[in-house]
């Protein structure tokens, strides 16, 4: 659908992450899943966009960062990034 990469920051045991992962995995988007518990740089990136917190899921599409977004918000960001 799009050549825009979706950075999907998550951690094990996160119900909100699992809920967002289901539609994301079916979306056809190019999704790079990053476990913040295994990647200290990823955890730091999440803290940068989440007011110092390690709140997941955090999704970054281009220059748009979203903390605990709905799938509709992710989809809108991918469409906007694809159009630009």
29 occurs within a structural domain: yes
Domain that holds residue 39: 6-82
**CA distances from residue 13 to 6, 46, 61, 66 in whole angstroms, order as listed:** 21, 17, 23, 20
In the chain, the number of structural domains is 1
pLDDT digits (tens, 9 = 90+) for 7-57: 999 999 999 999 999 999 999 999 999 999 999 999 999 999 999 999 999
76 occurs within a structural domain: yes
Using an 8 Å Cβ cutoff, are 31 and 58 in contact?
A: no
68 occurs within a structural domain: yes
pTM for the predicted model, two decimal places: 0.93
CATH number assigned to the domain comprising residue 30: 3.40.30.10
pLDDT digits (tens, 9 = 90+) for 51-82: 999 999 999 999 999 999 999 999 999 999 99
1 occurs within a structural domain: no
22 occurs within a structural domain: yes
Give 44's contacts (C-beta < 8 A, 6+ positions apart). none
66 occurs within a structural domain: yes
Dihedral angle at the C-alpha atoms of 13, 18, 21, 25, nearest 10 degrees?
100
């Amino acid at each position: 659908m799009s050549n825009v990469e979706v950075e999907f920051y998550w951690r094990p045991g996160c119900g909100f992450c699992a809920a967002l992962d289901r539609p994301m995995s079916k979306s056809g988007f190019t999704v790079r899943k990053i476990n913040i518990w295994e990647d200290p740089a990823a955890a730091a990136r999440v803290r940068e966009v989440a007011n110092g917190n390690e709140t997941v899921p955090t999704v970054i599409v281009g220059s748009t960062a979203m903390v605990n977004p709905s799938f509709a918000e992710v989809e809108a960001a991918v469409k906007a990034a694809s159009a630009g």
